[in-house]
Amino acid sequence: MVQAQRRLKPRATGGGHARRRSLLIFLIPALALYSVFIVYPLISALEYSFYSWTGTRRGGFAGLSNFHDLLTKYPLSEQVWRALGHNCLFFVGTMLIQTIAGLTFAVLLHKSRRGKRFLQTAFTLPHLVSPIVVGYLWSLMLNPQFGAVNAALRGVGLGSLAQPWRGDPHLALPVAIVVNAWQWIGFPMLLFAAALAGIPEEYEQAARCDGASSWQVFRRVTFPLLTPVLGIVSVLTFIGNFNVLDLIYALQGSQGNPTFSTDVLGLLFYRTAFDNPDANAIGQSSALAVCMFVLIFGVSIAANRFFRRMEDRLR
Amino acid sequence: MRKYCTLVAALSLALALPACAPSAQSSGGKVHLTVLSWRPEDTAGYKKIFAPYEKSHPKVTIDFKPIKSTEYLTVLPTELKKSQGGPDVVQLKPYGPLQSYVTSGDLEPLDGKVDVSNWPANVLQAAKGKQDGKLYGVPYALQTLQVLYNKKIFAQQNLQPPTTWAEFTAACDKLKKAGITPMATSGLQPWVLAIDHQIFGATRYGGDDFEKAVLTGKKNFTDPDYTASLDTTAKLRQYFPDKVTAVDYPDAQTLFTSGKAAMYPGGSYEVGPFTKSTPDLQIGFFDAPPAPGATVNHPLTSGYVDGSYGVNAHSDHRAEATDLVKWMATPEFGQLYASTLKQISLVPGTTPGDPLLAQAYQNYKDHGATYMMVVDFGYGNPLGRDQEGQALQKMLAGGSAADAGRFVQKGISAWFKPNGG
């Protein structure tokens, strides 16, 4: 409650007018960039999506017909839902691996004294590499002919487990999820580690005095206090995973090979915009972009609210 | 979202600030023409090709401006939309993918301006507007599809290029027994599988007769001859590399050039890069023999036009650009192009710049067929080539040929309406 009041009432400072002006001056460059590169394209994409196009020439106002096309015109009608489904699986899979592994690593590292810095850096390293490069490197490692993964399996006598990792429609998406989680695992780990460091030791000691086991301490004391971080991780992972393009493009090409089994909304947008023999490519792709934005924005806001409420319950 | 927004922003900026860097300037009475292309690897070659033109047209200089092929189609629309300073001559995709530029009005019609009177109609189709029937480009190269083979491996295994299907499968079996992958191909890329199907399945479904029957609505892709041809291709899996569904296009190329695979079903466009990357690789080729149950009883060499060069309708130097494109329809350019870049030029009266390609071209003239999924069924979304490739991927994953045929039919009929009957 005290905190909330503090948040609402900024400390009064003298010379508010001049201060506001200098703030504005500092904000203008960022605001200008933001408007040109974010706000303007957003609005123009919204505008584009309501017109019919022939190539790059804008035709008449088309109302919602581009959106109608997305939902009813084969193959788009099929691809949109399939891609959305894959995005959901991609998010859920990544979230599960990333959160469980990230949290485990963070807790283990929190307790360990030796090699902490080194391991933290090592786990975070893939995070610093571009997803395009990560995708390319993994595509080499997963190569059925020359790749390291199958060679290693054969080397230890597990040759029967060697798979066409990127070529089997049932395996391709799980493989992409694992690669994605591998790349981003350091991010939740760092956030969890920071949050763990912020939990006073007295809490654990008090719980121990009450006779709590290690698991009970984690489950009842530590984990609930990590809820805010879990919220941030979830929302950011959601945004990142629903916009994913580069990693899957590098791993499976623009068509989400094989048989669209790794197709996601980002790839579908790319294909609809730039690799689409339909004359109305701009209209359809803008409509898709608008839908993606509405979905991602809406869910992010809802999730934020949800986690806020959970946090408030903690207080 | 932010990624696309930035992209759209970049596009919008390009639209809003068109005249920042005019590339076509007239300085000192000289006209500077920009040729936009997706072939960075051909830059030196084009410089050589354009040299005689610059000599005979002292007032014109030509700047060959290549853009990475994977990015070309995202760049071309904005380049063509520039009201000033855009490219003058642009390389254009053939058939369907050309159409959106035609309907946007970004290309200059060339009818009556270039002399293509003795060119075959099926070649010009690649550069024509589907709706208005006007010519928007001068086609530059023909690609033929056949089976390339490693001559050294064939000699070592005492094999001859097969002339019957039985000889072909016997050769494959022998190679397999010797521990050599009979054929390198990519099961991961739908377009590669579609090429495989055209090479091995064309005789089975009936070549151009079947194509015409579909175009006129007498048959469709659920036809038993067509699904049998898909089956013929999918059954070759036993001769493809291990785990072919995960083999990518560059992997397939490497398997062949490194001598791990003896054959490579592919386009004539592979010959140049293969010999360049592996100079001691001796390549031969043969047409796939008629498949079992084939409705055409002789081999077919399938072919299609690779693309064309057209004139930007917003160019500041349309007259000079049209002159250049006009020259691209002459035997002088055709021969220079064929010899310098080792391609099959489409200008009548020219000979390909490589004995192997000369033979492929002759075969095409003798018993050519249309690569129908690119030529006729590439005008809508989904492209026939992609849909057929996906259908084959489904078969490689265990699907039936009948389902694959229905899948192809469903895709093509989403935009294709047969005419006549």
Residue B382 is assigned to a structural domain of this protein: yes
pLDDT at B167 over 90: yes
Counting residues of chain B whose pLDDT is more than 90, the rounded percentage is 83
pLDDT band at B320 (very low <50, low <70, confident <90, very high): very high
Which residue is listed with tokens 């480009």? B137
Q: What is the pLDDT of residue B399?
A: 95
The residue-averaged pLDDT of B199-226 equals 96
Strands (E), chain A: 51-54, 57-61
Does one domain contain both B163 and B76?
no
Does one domain contain both B101 and B226?
no
pLDDT at A1 over 60: no
- Nearest Cβ partner of B394 from A143, A145, A259? A259
Q: What is the pLDDT of residue B16?
A: 43
pLDDT at B2 over 60: no
CATH assignment of A74-314?
1.10.3720.10
Q: What is the pLDDT of residue A294?
A: 96
Does one domain contain both B199 and B96?
no
pLDDT band at A230 (very low <50, low <70, confident <90, very high): very high
A113 Cα to chain B: minimum distance (Å): 40
pLDDT band at B353 (very low <50, low <70, confident <90, very high): confident
DSSP assignment of B187-214: SS-HHHHHHHHHHHHHHHHTHHHHHHHH
A171 Cα to chain B: minimum distance (Å): 11
Q: What is the pLDDT of residue A13?
A: 52
Q: What is the pLDDT of residue A192?
A: 94
pLDDT band at B28 (very low <50, low <70, confident <90, very high): low
Does one domain contain both B174 and B297?
yes
pLDDT at A235 over 90: yes
pLDDT at B19 over 70: no
CB contact under 8 A, A54 and B103: yes
Domain harbouring B265, CATH code: 3.40.190.10
CB contact under 8 A, A258 and B188: yes
Q: What is the pLDDT of residue A11?
A: 52
Residue B339: strand, helix, or coil: helix
CB within 8 A of A171, min separation 6: which ones?
A: A163, A164, A165
pLDDT at B9 over 50: no
Does one domain contain both B272 and B250?
yes
pLDDT at B27 over 60: no
Contacts of B81 in chain A (CB under 8 A): 56
Give the total number of structural domains in chain B: 2
- Nearest Cβ partner of B8 from A41, A55, A253? A41
B254 Cα to chain A: minimum distance (Å): 10
pLDDT at B1 over 60: no
pLDDT band at B67 (very low <50, low <70, confident <90, very high): very high
CB within 8 A of A31, min separation 6: which ones?
A: none
Does one domain contain both B240 and B91?
no
The residue-averaged pLDDT of A77-84 equals 96
Instruction: Encode A43-73: b = buried (16+ Cβ within 10 Å), e = exposed.
Output: ebbeebbbbbbbbbebeeebeebbbebbeeb
Domain residues of chain A, as ranges?
A: 74-314
Residue B359 is assigned to a structural domain of this protein: no
Which residue is listed with tokens 């992209």? B7
Question: pLDDT tens digits, residue range B82-136?
Answer: 878 899 999 999 999 899 899 889 999 999 999 999 999 999 999 999 999 999 9
Does one domain contain both B232 and B373?
yes
Domain that holds residue B28: 19-140+307-349
The answer, for B188 touching chain A at a CB cutoff of 8 Å, is: yes
In sign, the C-alpha dihedral spanning B120, B126, B127, B128 is positive
Q: What is the pLDDT of residue A14?
A: 54
Give the mutation candidate from A33, A34, A145, A286 for the B interface (greatest B CB count, under 10 A): A145
Question: pLDDT tens digits, residue range B277-286?
Answer: 899 999 999 9
CA angle B341, B25, B63 (to 5 degrees): 10
pLDDT at B24 over 70: no
- The nearest alpha carbon in chain A to B4 belongs to A289
Q: What is the pLDDT of residue B420?
A: 54
Q: What is the pLDDT of residue B310?
A: 97
CB contact under 8 A, B255 and A143: no
Least-confidence region, from A91-105, A209-223, B43-57, B307-321: A209-223
Count chain A–chain B contacts defined by CB atoms under 8 A: 151
Peptide bond connecting A169 to the previous residue in cis, omega within 30 degrees of 0: no
* ipTM computed for the complex: 0.84
Which residue is listed with tokens 């395009």? A132
Tokens describing residue B354: 């490589």
A181 Cα to chain B: minimum distance (Å): 20
- The nearest alpha carbon in chain A to B407 belongs to A75
Q: Which residue has the higher pLDDT, A11 or B345?
A: B345
Does one domain contain both B179 and B197?
yes
Distance CA A289, CA B6 (A): 12
Residue B263 one-letter amino acid:
M
Least-confidence region, from A72-81, A287-296, B320-329, B412-421: B412-421
Residue B6 is assigned to a structural domain of this protein: no
- The nearest alpha carbon in chain B to A43 belongs to B5
CA-to-CA separations, B77 to A97, B36, B200, B314, in angstroms, rounded: 41, 12, 36, 12
The residue-averaged pLDDT of A117-125 equals 90
- Nearest Cβ partner of B4 from A74, A258, A269? A269
Identify the helix (H) or strand (E) that includes residue B32.
strand B30-37
B76 Cα to chain A: minimum distance (Å): 10
The residue-averaged pLDDT of A67-96 equals 95
Q: What is the pLDDT of residue A174?
A: 96
Residues 135-154 of A with CB under 8 A from B: 139, 142-146
Q: What is the pLDDT of residue A145?
A: 84
Residue B384 is assigned to a structural domain of this protein: yes
pLDDT at B23 over 60: no
Residue B361 is assigned to a structural domain of this protein: no
Q: Which residue has the higher pLDDT, A277 or B102?
A: B102
Residue B356 is assigned to a structural domain of this protein: no
Tokens describing residue B420: 């006549």
The residue-averaged pLDDT of B54-79 equals 92
The residue-averaged pLDDT of A122-132 equals 92
Does one domain contain both B342 and B292?
no
User: Please, what is the average pLDDT of chain B?
Assistant: 91
